[in-house]
Amino acid sequence: MSPIVLITWGFLFQFDNGVVIYAHNVLSYSRLHFYICSVLNLSNENQQIYSSIKIHLFNI
């Protein structure tokens, strides 16, 4: 199930290796996906990201 990103919400991604990424006001899931891949410099982003992400939604 893909997360729905709203302009007034933020995402906090905590990976198993301890990396934490907070994305604020991301307008689309594809942009958020690209942002995570860029920050973590992942080569096989689909397999590595979706197997290890823990998503927490909170209102900012």
Q: Write down the domain spans for the chain.
A: 9-59
pLDDT at 38 > cutoff 60: yes
3-state secondary structure of 39: helix
pLDDT digits (tens, 9 = 90+) for 2-32: 554 444 456 666 767 777 666 665 555 556 6
Helices (H), 1-60: 29-40, 45-50
Band (42; pLDDT cuts 50, 70, 90): low
Residue 25 · residue 10 · CB < 8 Å: yes
pLDDT at 43 > cutoff 60: no
Q: How many CB atoms lie within 10 A of CB 13?
A: 21
Residue 48 · residue 17 · CB < 8 Å: no
Residue 19 · residue 4 · CB < 8 Å: no
pLDDT of 17: 72
Choose between 43 and 51: higher pLDDT: 43
